[in-house]
Amino acid sequence: MKLEGEHPLSCNREVGFLVDNLGGNAEFLRPMHHKYGDRGFFYTLSARKGEISMIDIRLIRTNPDLVKANIRKKYQDHKLVLVDEVLELDQQLRECKTKADTLRGQRNTISKEIGKLMAQGKREEAEVTKQQVADIAEQLEMLKHLEETLPDQIRQRMMVIPNIMDDSVPMGKDDSENVEVERFGDMRVPSYPVPYHLELMEALNGVDLDSARKTTGAGFYYLKGDIARLHSAVLSYARDFMIDRGFTYCVPPFMIRSSVVTGVMSFTEMDNMMYKIEGEDLYLIGTSEHSMIGKFIDSITDEAELPIAYTSYSPCFRKEVGAHGIEERGVYRVHQFEKQEMIVVCHPDQSKQWFEKLYQNTVAFFRSLDIPVRTLECCSGDLADLKVKSIDVEAWSPRQQKFFEVGSCSNLGDAQARRLAIRAKGAEGTYFPHTLNNTVVAPPRMLIAFLENNLQEDGRIRVPDALKPYMGGKEYLS
């Protein structure tokens, strides 16, 4: 294959890392039917292993135009060449295996002839025939090398080809073209000034950024008094809120292995987010979704147990490489925070319904705290490569008179399941289930929305009824 210009893999650090850490622990698939919108492919497993990717290579073989159209919709035209390369390499690999099988058959036949010649005392003829066997052995050795190297070349390209988006995803180049879906609550604009959130916290002697800078650096904080209590109250309320909605509460490991990291996220996300433990094959989680989805790695779940719905608590650690605002004083963008998450593992036929349920849970949670929100659908160019569909939940800021992100709901289809060999077994066979995740709440960012929307004209911060039991019955912060 002769390529012009920069190849899409030439500067992709994901490739080597993924091949080294994942190897061949995922399965090829056999298509059964599709149900998610018009683009939800449901595959059962075949016995053959070796491909770790966001989509199945069989889809590229049977419908490369669909895969290319999906790439174009994501404005990633530089990746189009990968589809053709996969097809060519895949054809080479299959031809290689066919030729090797033919040569092995010929070798067996010739070996039998040699035995007959030797039995007849025709040693000279036998020696000539042995040379044919030697020639075949040399060819087989060359083919063996190709059989060992071609799968990795295919895998490297498959890891970068994005997942197939749902047809309902709006077209757009970046987050500026994300589409508002719905608004909830009264987006009030007070007649009195709303101070910056740091001022509100400091007025309650509830935050210490200077000490955090001395002990740790920018992007960290000490919370104190009623602000610290509010922080814990919100998380406790979120836990109970989700338990009441049928989710099982879980506290997961706060570190995960590289094989899990690369199974749940793209390398670009990983490189921008994850902190690695020096000298260990461990990373601090950026969200409990990582370890919660990893909980099912290399497992087969009986279909009768689906759907599995967890709500999980964890601290989260993020480098926030390339993010704006980390140096801004306050707690909007930080390196460490705590979060209540929800994840679902379900039958592919159910993922669309679960997607709606998950983001509506977050909307209901914020509305129970009298915080207006809106939902915003991620457009094709803003959608992460593993995701089928994603909706952000944004809270209203009376101070800025605009919305800001407080949560994100994502349907990954079977991309994470394929990468981590998460399987389900039902009457139709063994298949990859779909995985979904969504933020319930992530203070301290959520506290910004809470403080601004519950600020009274006299400067007090009202405690909504839903939180009073978690704040010792307090009506106002002090």
Domain boundaries defined on the chain: 1-73+77-161, 175-471
Q: Report helix, strand and coil shares of the chain as percent, to nearest 5.
A: 45, 25, 35
Judged by DSSP in three states, 155 sits in helix
From 348, 344, 366, 373, select the one nearest 357 (Cα to Cα).
344
pLDDT given for residue 326 in this prediction = 53
Please, which pLDDT band fits residue 270 given cuts at 50, 70 and 90? confident
pLDDT given for residue 393 in this prediction = 98
Q: Are 129 and 117 in contact (CB under 8 A)?
A: yes
CATH entry 1.10.287.40 includes domain 1-73+77-161: yes
> Counting runs of H as helices and runs of E as strands, what totals does the chain give?
14, 18
Structure tokens at 339: 């979060």
Q: Measured between alpha carbons, how far is 201 from 448 in angstroms, rounded to an integer? A: 9
What's the pLDDT tens digit per position in 26-80? 333 333 333 333 333 333 343 234 346 788 899 999 999 999 999 999 999 999 9
Mean pLDDT of 431-443: 97
CA 314 to chain centre: 17
pLDDT at 211 over 50: yes
Q: Spell out the residues 6+ positions from residue 185 whose beta carbon is closer than 8 angstroms to its own.
A: 367, 370, 371, 372, 373, 396
pLDDT given for residue 256 in this prediction = 96
Q: Measured between alpha carbons, how far is 179 from 477 in angstroms, rounded to an integer? A: 36
Please, which pLDDT band fits residue 272 given cuts at 50, 70 and 90? confident
The residue with tokens 């490739």 is 15
What's the pLDDT tens digit per position in 150-209? 999 998 899 889 999 999 999 999 999 999 999 999 999 999 999 999 999 999 999 999
Structure tokens at 409: 């709901």
Q: Are 61 and 31 in contact (CB under 8 A)?
A: no
Across 268-303, b (16+ Cβ under 10 Å) vs e yields ebbebbbbeeeeeebbbbbbbbbbbbbbbbeeebeb
- Region of 379 on the Ramachandran plot (φ > 0 left; ψ -120 to 50 alpha; else beta): beta
From 415, 420, 416, 404, select the one nearest 452 (Cα to Cα).
404
Mean pLDDT of 119-129: 79
Percent of the chain at pLDDT > 90 equals 72
Torsion of CA 153, 154, 160, 162, to 10 degrees: 170
Radius of gyration, alpha carbons of the chain: 28
Does 464 sit behind a cis peptide bond, omega within 30 degrees of 0 on the bond before it?
A: no
Judged by DSSP in three states, 433 sits in coil
pLDDT given for residue 36 in this prediction = 31
pLDDT given for residue 435 in this prediction = 98
Structure tokens at 365: 């949670």
pLDDT given for residue 7 in this prediction = 61
pLDDT given for residue 365 in this prediction = 98
pLDDT at 421 over 90: yes
Strands 40-49 and 283-284: what pairing? unpaired
Q: Are 432 and 423 in contact (CB under 8 A)?
A: yes
Please, which pLDDT band fits residue 132 given cuts at 50, 70 and 90? confident
Please, which pLDDT band fits residue 11 given cuts at 50, 70 and 90? very low
pLDDT given for residue 13 in this prediction = 45
pLDDT given for residue 392 in this prediction = 98
pLDDT given for residue 230 in this prediction = 98
Judged by DSSP in three states, 194 sits in coil
Mean pLDDT of 394-415: 97
Judged by DSSP in three states, 69 sits in helix
pLDDT at 448 over 70: yes
Measured CA angle at 264 (ends 236, 313), to 5 deg: 10
Q: Measured between alpha carbons, how far is 219 from 211 in angstroms, rounded to an integer? A: 12
Domain 175-471 classification at class level: alpha beta
Measured CA angle at 245 (ends 241, 249), to 5 deg: 70
Q: Measured between alpha carbons, how far is 133 from 108 in angstroms, rounded to an integer? A: 9
Residue 82, H or E segment: helix 80-119
pLDDT at 438 over 50: yes
Q: What is the mean pLDDT of the chain?
A: 88
Q: Where does 60-194 show beta strands of DSSP type E?
A: 179-184
What's the pLDDT tens digit per position in 291-327? 999 999 999 999 999 999 999 999 999 998 555 555 5
pLDDT given for residue 9 in this prediction = 62
Judged by DSSP in three states, 471 sits in helix
Structure tokens at 263: 């199974």
The residue with tokens 């990795």 is 152
Q: Where does 318-388 show beta strands of DSSP type E?
A: 336-346, 373-377
End-to-end CA gap in the chain: 69
Q: Measured between alpha carbons, how far is 376 from 182 in angstroms, rounded to an integer? A: 8
pLDDT at 127 over 90: no
pLDDT given for residue 324 in this prediction = 59
What's the pLDDT tens digit per position in 343-390? 999 999 999 999 999 999 999 999 999 999 999 999 999 999 999 999
**48 φ, ψ to 5°?**
-80, 135
